[in-house]
Amino acid sequence: MFLAAALLALVPSSAQTETTVSIGKSTITVALPDREPAASRDQILAWVRRCGESIADYFGRFPVPELRLELTSADGRGVQSGRTWNGRLIRAAIGVETREADLRDDWVLTHELCHVAFPDLDERFTWMSEGYATWVEPVVRVRAGLLRPEDFWRETLEGMPKGLPGPKDGGLDGTKAWGRTYWGGALFWMSADLEIRERTRNKHSLQTALRAVLDAGGDGRHRWTVDELLAKGDAATGTTALRDLYGRMGEAPYRADLPALWKSLGVERRGRTLAFDDTAPRGVLRRALTARPDSR
């Protein structure tokens, strides 16, 4: 059933106008929506290129040689949904009222492109795949100048509590809960990013681990085990950060002290605004997380 569904998904939908966008040596075939949104064709293609280039910047290259992106029409405004199949196909729905500003603020396509750059895991570890994309997507966008650091941290502070375990929850492995899957998984990857940076004095980061996984063939076209993923990532950073965190969070409920974490990073909510303390114990790690490549 899975194979049949995957093959069906790769069959092109009804006739759509197609064009290509090149990212380095890779090609994205873009099937444009049948109902043209308020945004122009050129603005849609610029959005695809912008998202693709930001992913290529984070991972060192675009993750796969060829990708098909099918854009379907929907009512309303904005990029409303997306889904990725086998690292080869992304389908996303764009509202007919979507304007260029909505495309500039979009996170959906970047999230789906993150999946293309990550190996397919067993369903038991959906939290790891979705949590990874939930964490890396805004990191990619803030580093590319598409998201302000203030908005990045506001979303992080608002989202992470949704991933904490309830009284009856176990580890993240096998969870079906939305908050645990997306934000519990994101907490795992954020913790990994910080721990790798701390253990290596900012010489390495989660980016180091994820680039190594991708370079070893771990993109969305290939099925990996979690052991392979953790081992390859840890070897690249010279730490056991991923394996240690998986033991704490994947196999058992981990109730992180988020207020203490935010304080150590120097992030404080003051009403509807955020304040940053660069003298906080881990303030240098916070700044490094969102630093653009040309500012390091």
Q: How far apart are CA 187 and CA 224, in angstroms?
A: 22
In one-letter notation, the amino acid at residue 18 is E
pTM for the predicted model, two decimal places = 0.92
Fold of 2-10+17-116: Neutral Protease; domain 2 (1.10.390)
User: What's the pLDDT score for residue 245?
Assistant: 97
- Tell me the domain boundaries of the chain: 2-10+17-116, 125-295
Cα distances from 190 to residues 16, 97, 160, 221, 230, in angstroms, run 39, 35, 10, 25, 15
Q: Does residue 26 contact residue 65 with C-beta atoms inside 8 Å?
A: yes
Q: What is the pLDDT of residues 187-212, one digit of tens each?
A: 999 999 999 999 999 999 999 999 99
Mean residue pLDDT of the chain comes to 93
Residue appearing with tokens 């050129």: 42
Q: What is the pLDDT of residues 248-261, one digit of tens each?
A: 999 899 999 999 99
Q: Does residue 256 contact residue 163 with C-beta atoms inside 8 Å?
A: no
User: What's the pLDDT score for residue 288?
Assistant: 95
Token pair listed for 271: 């009403």
Q: How far apart are CA 16 and CA 37, in angstroms?
A: 14
Q: How many CB atoms lie within 10 A of CB 89?
A: 21
Secondary structure E strands in 193-272: 267-270
Q: How far apart are CA 215 and CA 236, in angstroms?
A: 11
- Residues in the chain with pLDDT values less than 50: 1-13, 295-296
Q: How many CB atoms lie within 10 A of CB 97?
A: 14
Q: Of how many residues is the chain composed?
A: 296
Residue appearing with tokens 């010489």: 203
Residue appearing with tokens 């949104």: 37
User: What's the pLDDT score for residue 15?
Assistant: 59
